[in-house]
């Protein structure tokens, strides 16, 4: 898939140039994707499936199917839910970017 390849290339570039998140045009989404895959510890991808991020975790519900909106992601990440831990170490900005990214990537908002 073209979009996925593009994302992988960008991610690779980001690994090489740490400043690229700021410089990139789609900064919000890229930052949110990075939080989803890397900055959040443990990584959301371990437990959740989200095709856009190439995540195939099976412990939590598939976000592609759940299609949570921004509010629902924010709530889960801040407070935790069931077996999912809360993420107090993420900044408000990171949580916002992450929530927007997940909502968009799962097809809730365009």
What whole-number distance in Å separates Cα of residue 90 and Cα of residue 98?
Answer: 10
The answer to whether 66 and 51 have CB atoms below 8 angstroms apart is: no
Q: Say how far apart CA 102 and CA 25 lie, in whole Å.
A: 18
Nearer to ligand HEC, 10 or 60 (CB): 60
Q: Alpha-carbon distance 52 to 107, whole Å?
A: 10
16 vs 83, beta carbon nearer ligand HEC: 83
Query: Which stretch, 7-15, 21-29, 54-62, contacts ligand HEC (CB under 6 A)?
Result: 54-62
Please give the Cα distance from 16 to 97 (Å, whole number): 22
Q: By CB under 6 A, is residue 31 in contact with ligand HEC?
A: no
Considering only residues 71 to 110 of the shown chain, the ones binding ligand HEC according to CB under 6 A are: 72-73, 76-77, 81-84, 87, 98, 102
What is the contact surface with ligand HEC in residues (CB under 6 A)? 40, 42, 44, 46-48, 59-61, 66, 68, 72-73, 76-77, 81-84, 87, 98, 102
């Amino acid at each position: 898939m073209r979009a996925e390849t593009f994302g992988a290339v960008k991610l690779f570039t980001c690994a090489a140039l740490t400043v690229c998140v700021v410089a990139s045009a789609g900064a919000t989404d890229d930052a949110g994707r990075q939080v989803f895959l890397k900055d959040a510890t443990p990584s959301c991808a371990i437990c959740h499936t989200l095709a856009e991020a190439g995540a195939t975790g099976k412990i939590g519900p598939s976000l592609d199917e759940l299609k949570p909106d921004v509010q629902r992601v924010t709530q889960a990440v801040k407070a935790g839910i069931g077996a999912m831990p809360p993420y107090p170490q993420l900044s408000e900005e990171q949580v916002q970017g992450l929530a927007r990214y997940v909502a968009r990537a799962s097809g809730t908002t365009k």
